[in-house]
Amino acid sequence: MTHSLTATRRGFLSFAAGAGALVATGAGTAAAAPTPINTKARIVILGAGAAGTALANRLTRRLNGAEITIIDPRKEHWYQPGFSLIAAGLKPADYSVSQTAHWLPKNITWISERAAEIDPDGNKVTTESGKSIPYDFLVLATGLVLNYSAIEGFEMDMIGKDGIGSLYAGPDYAAKTWEAAGRYTEDGGVGIFTRPATEMKCAGAPIKHTFLIDDIARKAGTTKLDINYMAHNKGLFGVPIISEKLRMLFGQREITPHYSHVLKAVDAGKKVATFATENGDAEMPYDYLHIVPPQQAPDVIRNSALTDPGSWDGRGWATVDKHTLQHTFFDNVFAVGDIAGVPKGKTAASVKWQVPVVEEHLIAQITGSKSDASYNGYTSCPLITRVGRAMLIEFDYDNNLTPSFPGVIAPLEELWISWLMKEVALKATYNAMIRGDA
């Protein structure tokens, strides 16, 4: 009996060890990778944000011998979808901060400088220090710039003080935004939540901030609340069906929408915001003001031949085909992420769907073939409606809802599972994406 028990134990232990090894190697998860393509192509990627990094990681796996150079001065990588959570006091500032070097593949060249000039006729990029980098293929992934100077009277150091917040400015500013917003959730008063009239990254974020601050204030028992959402046009969201849903939710939550109100100036001393409206300027006093500045392409693109100064009111987005993301005039140039001049899609979720499209078309050019990969404008936004609930809205260029889990996760329903996705699953998915794994 003793003997047989020992034998069983040994068998059991070896089974356990085997199972452990299986888990450790992650067996069954690695998909067979296609054979790398041999090439000497020089590929320059401008920008090591979500799009640039994801693409660099994917290209190094697909190409053998390619000279890939990524140009970006920023040492920190920011997980921008986390800013909404930081600005509501739900996560600390470092939640969104990691190191650029951590995500980049080892076998590429990272030039930690700003690109100063692009010469698409001469196929070269010049950096700030005057370094000239020739390329065969150029990918624009610079992201966009926040044009705070367009708001009269505003200075960056106002964020977090005197009832002014602006979560877009970065992780530390998002945390400072919570300092101001948090005080407002306790003291109450007039809350004004703005958005710019330009294209912007994550058009849902200003709305999420409105809902979150409203919810936190109500749960804290603050009653003197007068919350106002300032829409830049006659809708609350670019997709009509979502705009209608938001109108209803605002109604239920007693959030007052103001249409065609674009923030123009702020007087932090008097706590008065000035809006450009259809009937001239309108002044509104506030206790808390959330500012989302106008957004545009960085100068290096805005002043280059890669944009059409006559389109987008001169904001300088790269002129690309909205389905292939290939430049309209320069075949060897692509744009991915916020910088792409496409009607929708300045979100990390869009990046996830754009990057494989650029990858396929770029590789097709290298191999002299054609690719039918196409980006349909997919954008996703877990639109938080309160702490604990969100709507998982997904849509395309044609304003169609494109739910990933039809019949299971309803897009226009406020659900806990959608909140769980935003709060816990999104960052992991994002990280997998920038590693090139998803």
Partner 1 sequence: MKELTFGTLIAVFEEIFGPTLFWIMVITAAVITLAYFYVLIRDRAVSWHKFLRAQLSMPFGAIAAVLFVQKMTHSGFSDIGGPIDLIILLGIAAMGAVGAAILVYTFDALFLQKPDEHTN
Which residues are the active-site residues? 202, 381
**376 interacts with partner 1 by CB under 8 A:** no
Single out the segment in contact with partner 1 by CB under 8 A; choices: 4-12, 65-73, 103-111, 314-322: 4-12
- Concatenate the DSSP letters of all residues of 101-123 into one string: HHHS-TTSEEE-S-EEEEETTTT
**24 interacts with partner 1 by CB under 8 A:** no
For partner 1, the closer of residues 31 and 278 by Cβ is 31
Mask: binding to partner 1, 227-266, rule CB under 8 A, as x and -? ----------------------------------------
Among 140, 144, 415, 434, binds partner 1 (CB under 8 A): 415
Single out the segment in contact with partner 1 by CB under 8 A; choices: 48-56, 248-256, 331-339, 412-420: 412-420
**Within a 13 Å sphere around the CA of 157, how many CA atoms are in the beta-carbon half?**
0
Among 174, 380, 381, 383, binds partner 1 (CB under 8 A): 380
Number of residues that bind partner 1 (CB under 8 A): 38
User: Quick check: helix, strand or coil at residue 209?
Assistant: helix
Least Cα distance to 67 among 37, 48, 43 occurs for 43
CB of 415 to partner 1, least distance (A): 4
Helix (H) or strand (E) holding 376: none
For partner 1, the closer of residues 368 and 407 by Cβ is 407
Backbone angles phi, psi at 414, to 5 degrees: -80, 110
Whether the CB-CB separation of 269 and 163 falls below 8 Å is answered with no
Least Cα distance to 232 among 277, 166, 296 occurs for 277
For partner 1, the closer of residues 193 and 430 by Cβ is 430
For partner 1, the closer of residues 44 and 246 by Cβ is 246
Among 272, 388, 397, 401, binds partner 1 (CB under 8 A): 388
Single out the segment in contact with partner 1 by CB under 8 A; choices: 34-42, 182-190, 300-308, 406-414: 406-414
**6 interacts with partner 1 by CB under 8 A:** no
Alpha-carbon gap, residue 290 to 432, rounded angstroms: 31
Among 2, 3, 5, 310, binds partner 1 (CB under 8 A): 5
Residues 31-90 that bind partner 1 (CB under 8 A): 90
Alpha-carbon gap, residue 237 to 313, rounded angstroms: 20
Mask: binding to partner 1, 319-358, rule CB under 8 A, as x and -? ----------------------------------------
Among 2, 3, 24, 29, binds partner 1 (CB under 8 A): 29
Backbone angles phi, psi at 177, to 5 degrees: -55, -40
Single out the segment in contact with partner 1 by CB under 8 A; choices: 54-62, 290-298, 339-347, 405-413: 405-413
Whether the CB-CB separation of 89 and 177 falls below 8 Å is answered with no
Single out the segment in contact with partner 1 by CB under 8 A; choices: 100-108, 189-197, 283-291, 387-395: 387-395
**414 interacts with partner 1 by CB under 8 A:** yes
CB of 102 to partner 1, least distance (A): 14
Query: Residue 431 contacts by C-beta under 8 Å, 6 or more apart in sequence?
Result: 79
**168 interacts with partner 1 by CB under 8 A:** no
**97 interacts with partner 1 by CB under 8 A:** no
CB of 230 to partner 1, least distance (A): 27
Alpha-carbon gap, residue 438 to 433, rounded angstroms: 5
Among 3, 24, 28, 129, binds partner 1 (CB under 8 A): 28
Residue 68's beta-bridge partner residues? 43
Alpha-carbon gap, residue 353 to 341, rounded angstroms: 16
**220 interacts with partner 1 by CB under 8 A:** no
How many angstroms separate the Cα of 336 from the Cα of each of 87, 105, 274, 409?
27, 18, 35, 29
How many residues are recorded in the chain?
438
**Sign of the alpha-carbon torsion through 38, 41, 45, 51:** negative
For partner 1, the closer of residues 12 and 329 by Cβ is 12
Question: What does the block give as tokens for 426?
Answer: 């999104």
Residue 193's beta-bridge partner residues? 229, 290
Alpha-carbon gap, residue 338 to 301, rounded angstroms: 12
Which residue blocks in 220-298 are alpha helix, DSSP H? 240-253
Alpha-carbon gap, residue 197 to 272, rounded angstroms: 20
CB of 242 to partner 1, least distance (A): 17
**416 interacts with partner 1 by CB under 8 A:** yes
**8 interacts with partner 1 by CB under 8 A:** yes
Bridge-based pairing of strands 288-290 and 164-165 is parallel
Alpha-carbon gap, residue 173 to 249, rounded angstroms: 28
The residues that touch partner 1, with contacts defined as CB under 8 A, are 5, 8-9, 12, 16, 20, 26, 28-29, 90, 380, 386-389, 404-405, 408-410, 413-417, 419-421, 423-425, 427-429, 431-432, 437-438
